[in-house]
Structure 1
């Protein structure tokens, strides 16, 4: 079971600041650049993680239509051709230039409501050889986990949020699942920027662990 220091690490950014946020509204996804089968896989991963967290999904978002937009593509420059995307993503041109230069294969952009809760997430996946080699289920679950909370930019740099079963199937690591559930506890705020929040998360983890026996 994670202690408060370990929990804090998941939400402490590379600049040293602590920032946690969860979704403040039902999640309504749309996926671009793939066939319907992959769309079903992404939605299935979202449904599973939302059910685990006790969060809702919806067909549409009243403000944005869709509030999780997943883009699959081969080249970052393709994003510049997506109609109106520059209205949704501030600084799209320099962002594309930066990601192209870095040879990045994924990037997520979050938007927040007045309370600091997540209200939209844009997931960009450049299908290079690394991402293309991953099964669709693995890729979808990994992206969903990384977009259901605002994690630190360092949270999963040294270890994936997923783990492999003996039969080769990939599942969410139990401690990450428990942390997501704790983060969606309605007693806790939807956004927190004080490290003491990690103590409250850790207490929720311990309480859940105790109740599981």
Structure 2
């Protein structure tokens, strides 16, 4: 069975706004921490992340030996709240001007990554301003969407026109779209590089998508 993505569509998932191709995956187990949510939402976020990590054949950990937590989720109401988080400016360079830009753009979310010497993702930071549409989204949908978007360094426009999730008409359950699940699984194939800047990488992902999709939908 061939998943419904062409090499060009896969390439577009990792294309930069100014042109060029840039791909990276995690090179170490993911040790997440979540700030600003109730215990129930915390479990939902970690559960969604664990489901996508399992799909990828990657690993999670309680702690990262270097960083403690290497994937941080921040939930808040207004961007200015980030300026009050102790030591966040040490983790996110130029935090003040970044917050000013995000406020001016009325942005609802922002992601930042750090990379190791091999180009693999070493740490990730997810900022979610819980206002408007984001605040109305069911917790499970929000958590799964964010888990998908931190598993790889996607291009900025990867999900601009179409969500990585789909709703099963039979049950109404929200699941990860099979073709996106396929891309994630292929990207974590042990024969694939942890990072790539050549579009031929998209052809290698496409070749791996010729295999059947994962049997169990991630939801």
Q: Equivalent residue for 1:124?
A: 127
1:33 counterpart = 2:36: yes
Q: 2:179 maps to which residue?
A: 175
Alignment pair present for 1:197 and 2:201: yes
Cα distance in 2, alignment partners of residues 11 and 114 from structure 1: 20
**Residues 1:210 and 1:80: Cα distance change in structure 2 (over 3 Å):** closer
Return the offset for 1:44: 0.2
**TM-score for the superposition, normalised by structure 2:** 0.94
- The 1:84–1:210 alpha-carbon spacing in structure 2 relative to 1, beyond 3 Å, is closer
Say which SS state the counterpart of residue 212 (structure 2) adopts. helix
Q: CA deviation at 1:5?
A: 1.1
Aligned partner of 1:14 in structure 2 is 17
Tell me, which stretches of 5 or more residues in structure 1 are unaligned? Answer: none
Count of paired positions: 211
1:134 aligned onto 2:117: no
Q: Which of 74, 83, 105 matches 2:86?
A: 83
Q: Can you give the 5+ residue segments of structure 2 that lack an aligned partner in the other structure?
A: none
1:29-55 per-residue CA deviation (whole Å, 9 max, x = no partner) reads 000001111110010001100111000
Counterparts of 1:94 and 1:73 in 2: how far apart (Å)?
18
Task: Find the aligned partners of 1:165 and 1:127 in 2 and give their Cα distance.
Answer: 26
Given the alignment of the two structures, is residue 100 of structure 1 paired with residue 103 of structure 2, yes or no?
yes
Q: Which has the higher helix share?
A: 1
CA offset at residue 210 of structure 1? 9.3
Q: Distance in 1 between matches of 2:94 and 2:159?
A: 26
How many angstroms does 1:175 deviate by? 0.2
Aligned alpha-carbon RMSD (Å) = 1.3
1:50 and 2:53 aligned: yes
**Superimposed CA distance per residue, residues 145-176 of structure 1 (whole angstroms, 9 cap, x where no aligned partner):** 00100000010000000011223321100000
User: CA 1:210–1:142 in 2, change beyond 3 Å: closer, same or farther?
Assistant: closer
8 Å contact kept, 2:186–2:208:
yes
**Structure 1 segments of 4 or more deviating over 6 A?**
none
Residue among 182, 189, 207 paired with 1:185: 189
